Structure 1
């Protein structure tokens, strides 16, 4: 009997990664208490509240990208219900149970805090009228308190966090530009990314979605694309996808993984003087993380490294798909293996942890924000596999398909602005990590050689910002000396 009384209704949040499930969290309040009638246990159906899920450890609010179901639609287990934009990715929320979407409280493009009611779910048609009356009394701004305002019939359960993951490594201000999205990572067929509503229309119109060309963000197939392929007029209210570029933001810069193209200038064409633009979900998360970083006592150490040997190695392995990002990440990881304190982290202000893995987070510029995809176990992974993994992570980041462990498990951060010709800069330390390295451009300089003669060598400035609670100047200087020696003789990186 106890199991029947506590059996919850759930929704499942899964990413747009085919059939791969990403998260599973309770998003719907539990059904009503059972009642004993005629000696038999009977559970009465009541209205349940659909909550805004917590899709990452740093998420405090989410934006409704689109509702793939309309009010009055019957839900079957596994049906897509709503697409939610978190601070890191878009997640497709599916239902585990049958029911009726009785009312939508938070509409498309609107924001609600984690745990707030965004819709109401009824088990039968008899509860729809009750649900609509409750929805009419609730507003998006007050939906987080709708549990208290509702009649006692609707019992609420606070949604739990997603599967335990390490504390999210927030993104720093300096950025590394993503690799071109045209790079193919997999030998097999490319995955088709489409909105749930587009998939529904494709089945309805009998359109092969594999042949539809997407016009949405990052090539995503939208309902309009399917309707165009089917020769149908657009619906009166098409499902909308809110792009990250909703507010003015720098365009993604070219990647150091390619031959050095002329970097694109930061575009300000969309900026209208005097206009107040609210933060996107991702920008708000970056803002919170940067403010939090001010509580960490940091110091900075700069170092000049010679890159002639590194440049020569890059020319050899570039044709094999190796990127400069992978080379730098590998060199940093090998150096960290010799200086574990620089790979340590302090999260509670009372102790620090020597991290068992060396995971290099690399800053990537996105439309409307920043992300730090993580190259896990970079010291142990083969250079060629590491480079292939980096290209895969960049593609997933640009499509907002990164899984939590792919962006929140970094132990050291790398940020590069060298492709813009920037010779040096300081990076802001992401909270929860020990250090971040800012990499400038490699430039030829006239220097004095060891025999006292003048010569030309390629130099690169690197500045490391570190947490002074756990890392001291001498330790950081020793790490930089090791890093410089590795770049002087980088051939071992390919072993």
Structure 2
């Protein structure tokens, strides 16, 4: 594929965001239109007066991916007061998977930085202000200061709320209005009581007209009848709770709050340190939680790897890794079993994917990412190896394009190099299956004639979406994968 540049318009928060990428350069930049001009004159009266229209544009937090809800400012390439030219990088933003440079569509002066480096902001929120001339810089700084003050304002309002806790002392007066149902019950008006409460009143000979209801809108409950009859409430589980229940009847909200407080604030462990998630870790956490809603099943299959190990020793000097060989074998097996390459994203239908894109799980500093070998079934192992090296380099530099980590149709996770015998991988959202590969180890096996021999075997575990893939389909795929691995000459064709 020849090196070329492309521009794709994406609808983001507010304006359109245009991505420009070049295959020849690892850096990626985002062309960001800066909008929301604030003019000095407004109305017909201002139109008649020769007012100066100040062109101050807000730099927004861009949406760098479809799943991004907020971004983190890695660093500001430019400082306040620097003059910017159209297409020049302004800031580096960390998305859920990668870091991207943000460029501007306009010339101007970076008048104020609203969100400093190291802090996060939701998509579409202003992170900086761009002035057209130097005369507008003070106005932009004043606008930025007003925006920054408008954000801490709620924080300053929350401390005054504790004094306003004295105000909740009047709320005990609402129970006094609750006493109004007493007057209602004493009058000739209709008595509101539950059917069971009426039954208990007849059994215990309680005049229901003299009972004060504690239910909603003064409704008489069975506990009110039992209290009027002098019957202690029976609690079979624990005796202390009856002693507690009479107390919270009046301040029940505070009791609920005190009950929730211990669950919310657990005692800290001595010597522990709280480290917040990075943007990448937060994205991984969200995907893992989403995967719990998918019904999955797991199938293990032993595969003999003597022939694959021999092939690996031949192609290793040429830069081919075992991960690439496994990805190529999985892609060839998926070509014969397209249902395993299918995906279900909406829970109502599934999609047969024409492309076989093998995503490979890679642990990087601060998280986990899955670079994608696109069209892995159509490329030879040497070209796949070169692409895999480029993807690894981009992954460690956090320079992957969105289509290079979000277009996978099948995932391979290999922990065999660490000596792991077997493990179960978590299915990524939107994919049909993920294959976990363990280590290849010498194993004693017996042939059909009863003779023993030692062969290298590895255990492959596949986690599949049971809504679209069934046991027979997955078993057939694993058998085909095992045949390719045990006779890997087809991998070099």
- Name the TM-score, length of structure 2 as normaliser: 0.68
What SS does structure 2 have at the residue aligned with 1:296?
Answer: coil
- Aligned-residue Cα RMSD (Å) equals 2.9
Query: Is the contact made by 1:300 and 1:463 (CA closer than 8 Å) also made in structure 2?
Result: yes
Higher RCO by CA contacts (8 Å cutoff, separation 6 or greater): 1
346-355 or 81-90, larger mean C-alpha shift: 81-90
Deviates more, 1:347-356 or 1:63-72: 63-72
Aligned residue pairs total 361
Equivalent residue runs for 1:372-391 within 5 Å: 372-391=370-389
Matched with 2:299 is: 301
1:84 to 85, 90, 93: 93
Return the match for 2:135 from 126, 129, 137: 126
The alpha-carbon deviation at position 78 of structure 1 amounts to 2.3
Distance 1:319 1:140, change over 3 A: farther
Q: What is the Cα deviation at residue 354 of structure 1? A: 0.2
Give me the whole-angstrom Cα distance separating, in 2, the residues matched to 1:43 and 1:303.
Answer: 75
Check if 1:61 corresponds to 2:59.
Answer: no
Determine the C-alpha separation between the residues in 1 that align with 2:307 and 2:284.
36
Q: How does 1:215-294 map to 2 (within 5 A)?
A: 273-294=271-292
Q: 1:444 — aligned with what?
A: 442
| Equivalent pair of 1:13/1:93 in contact (CA under 8 Å) | no
Question: Is the contact between residue 12 and residue 95 of structure 1 (CA under 8 Å) also seen in structure 2?
Answer: no
Q: State whether structure 2 residue 37 is matched by structure 1 residue 31.
A: yes
Do 2:340 and 2:474's aligned partners in 1 also have CA atoms closer than 8 Å?
Answer: yes
Judging by fraction of residues, say which structure has more helix. Answer: 2
2:132 corresponds to 1:107: no
Equivalent residue number for residue 348 of structure 1? 346
Equivalent residue for 2:390, pick from 389, 392, 408: 392
Q: Which moved more, 1:117-126 or 1:337-346?
A: 117-126
**Aligned partner of residue 438 in structure 1, secondary structure:** strand
Partner of 2:414: 416
Equivalent residue in structure 2 for 1:138, among 130, 138, 147: 147
How far apart are 1:455 and its partner, in Å?
0.6
Structure 1: gaps (5+ residues): 1-7, 146-271
Q: 2:439–2:459: 8 Å Cα contact kept in structure 1?
A: yes
CA distance in 1, matches of 2:331, 2:440: 20
Distance in 1 (CA, whole Å) between partners of 2:38 and 2:112 is 19
Deviations 1:352-395 (A, max 9, x none): 10000000000011000011110010001011111111111111
Which residue is equivalent to 1:158?
none
Alpha-carbon distance, 1:139 to partner: 3.5
SS in 2 for 1:139: helix
Report deviation, 1:403: 1.1
State which structure, 1 or 2, has the greater radius of gyration over its C-alpha atoms.
Answer: 2
Pick the aligned partner of 1:477 from 452, 455, 475: 475
CA contact (8 A) 1:112 1:141 kept: no
Following superposition, the deviation at residue 49 of structure 1 comes to 1.4
SS in 2 for 1:370: strand
Q: TM-score, normalized by length of structure 1?
A: 0.68
| Maintained 8 Å contact 1:293/1:431 | yes
What secondary structure sits across from 2:148 in the alignment? coil
Maintained 8 Å contact 1:286/1:370:
yes
Q: Aligned partners of 1:58, 1:52: CA distance in 2, in Å?
A: 14
Residues 484 and 360 (structure 1), Cα distance of their counterparts in 2 relative to 1, 3 Å cut: same
- Distance verdict in 2 for CA 1:10–1:464, change over 3 Å: closer
Distance 2:486 2:147 in 1: 64
